[in-house]
Amino acid sequence: MLNLFESHIKTQIEILNYVYSNHSTHIYRKDLATFFNISNLTMKKYLIQLFGFDEFHSINQTFFTKIDYNKVYQTIIQESVNISILKKIILFPGKSSDFYCEQLAISSPLFSKRIKELNLFLSNYHIQIKVRKGYRIVGQDEAQVIFFITSCFLVFSMPMEQATSQTQKMILFLKKYNCPTCFRTVGDFWEKNFFSTSFYVYLLRCSQGYFTNLKSDTSHYFIPDDDIYFLKQFFPRLTKSELCIALVLYKRTFSFNLSSDLLEKIKHIIKHFFLFSDEKMHDNTIKKMSIILALSVEFSYKYKLNILKDIPELHIFDQELSSNNPKFARTIRNLLKTIDSELDASTSNFFEFIFYWLFSEVGIETLVQKLNILLIVDTCIKSGHYIANKLSDLLNFSTIQHTIQVMDLHSFASHSTEKSHYDVLLSTVPLEETPVMLIPYNLTLHNSQNLIHFLADF
């Protein structure tokens, strides 16, 4: 959704993302200006606006947390006229252009210009802002509008404080009526924010009169008075019938019949992609990943949407993953492409969104096979284990998953046929008939850089 922003706002967000992803490294303002292709003076202005100082090194003296990121991010997006217009139309639809211009203190020509810009972006999702008894967001499918508005609430932190404070109660309410509240993952984002916000958006749309033609479909649904009272905290003017409609539509949107045939196909792809054994396929993590992938395909088949892919935190996680563990990042992307091609799902963007959140929440790093290293030493095994421990520390620092086996020269000569069992052969001395990579005894971060780069790209 970054393309919703004006160019200068988008640049500031990209600077913020870069700072957050690289806060532990020393970066100079002039280098940052060169990287973003803007003048040093403009970069100075942006840094003062974002962080309160014009020399970038100041931020590296403290840990830049996610809370810090969110504070700066919210400050940035509040300056966006496009987002302000979008928020007003979402929360107060059906008003005239004069109403929005007065509320936002902007001119009528500017309002018209920004509506055109917004519609150009929204057309990618088959959604438009149209004048139908005032300005409204409409789409080919109401579910598309719901998902888009849900994304806006999550990405732009739109005002729903009361709903946020009642998130857990909202989830319990949805579970009570057998409504989906997760995509089988764990973690606050999917478990709470996304689903409770989606239901809140359904309540919002009902209160705005978008589903009046569906009243007859809900006559056989009944919600007790205490639950009605709970929901009316958010929208006091909603009728019982409208509350029932919101519940029914939400349940209809997020209910999926997961095909056992599709799940088996996903498991087959995973097994052959990672070369997992039958025993490994019974691992709970693998089962969870299989279900998530199958659900993402079902979801994408049903709605053909990619609108959730541009959440800034997702980009940050992607950058961190790619920089800290490039092999892992490539493995996951290749898996997604494999599934996409074999199932002809055309849903790789949605795969990425679900999977990156799954990675960040439950740690699927265990799916990546460890680099199997054999270390051959020409001295005693004790010295070999010392080198192996030093190497292991360096690999852990570089987030390279690995196992290291140590052998002396005599043992290796006796078991040379087993060398094919290892991904990499390292040795303290050259070997005549076996290609190896030499490793020094006094292994340090400085003299091991080439070795670490080699193993990272292996």
| Sign of the torsion formed by the C-alpha atoms of 195, 200, 205 and 211 | positive
**Residue 307: is its pLDDT beyond 60?**
no
Find the CATH number of the domain harbouring 438: 3.40.50.2300
Asked if residue 250 and residue 352 are part of one domain, the reply reads no
**Residue 188: is its pLDDT beyond 50?**
no
Asked if residue 303 and residue 332 are part of one domain, the reply reads yes
**What pLDDT band is residue 159 in, cutting at 50, 70 and 90?**
low
The DSSP string of 293-347 is: HHHHHHHHHHH---TTTT-HHHHHHHHHHHHH-HHHHHHHHHHHHHHHHHHT---
Across 375-400, average pLDDT: 80
Asked if residue 140 and residue 109 are part of one domain, the reply reads yes
CA atoms within 13 A on the CB side of 352: 22
Across 222-245, average pLDDT: 83
Asked if residue 222 and residue 109 are part of one domain, the reply reads yes
Q: Which of 30, 46, 77 is the last residue of a domain?
A: 77
pLDDT tens-place string over residues 247-259: 888 888 777 667 7
Asked if residue 188 and residue 48 are part of one domain, the reply reads no
Provide the pLDDT for residue 261: 85
| Sign of the torsion formed by the C-alpha atoms of 30, 31, 32 and 36 | positive
Strands 135-139 and 127-131: antiparallel
Asked if residue 275 and residue 297 are part of one domain, the reply reads yes
- Please answer whether residues 85 and 118 qualify as being in contact, where contact means their C-beta atoms are separated by less than 8 angstroms: yes
Helix, strand, or coil (residue 352) = helix
Alpha-carbon distances, residue 398 vs 247, 273, 288 (angstroms): 48, 25, 27
Asked if residue 237 and residue 89 are part of one domain, the reply reads yes
Asked if residue 428 and residue 299 are part of one domain, the reply reads no
**Beta carbons within 10 angstroms of residue 396's beta carbon:** 11
Q: Where do we find the tokens 């795969």? A: 351
Asked if residue 105 and residue 60 are part of one domain, the reply reads no
Alpha-carbon distances, residue 335 vs 183, 271, 289, 398 (angstroms): 20, 11, 12, 23
Token digits of residue 360 = 């960040």
Q: What is the extent of the structural domain holding 433?
A: 371-456
Domain count, the chain: 4
| Sign of the torsion formed by the C-alpha atoms of 323, 328, 330 and 333 | negative
Provide the pLDDT for residue 364: 42
Asked if residue 121 and residue 12 are part of one domain, the reply reads no
- Residue of 255, 136, 263, 125 lying closest to 195 (CA atoms): 255
Alpha-carbon distances, residue 146 vs 182, 234, 308 (angstroms): 17, 17, 12
Asked if residue 241 and residue 160 are part of one domain, the reply reads yes
Provide the pLDDT for residue 96: 93
Q: Which of 205, 238, 254 is the last residue of a domain?
A: 254
| In the chain, % of residues over pLDDT 70 | 70
pLDDT tens-place string over residues 438-454: 888 777 666 677 777 77
Strands 402-408 and 424-427: unpaired
Q: Which of 19, 45, 77 is the last residue of a domain?
A: 77
Supply the DSSP symbol for 95: B
Asked if residue 131 and residue 73 are part of one domain, the reply reads no
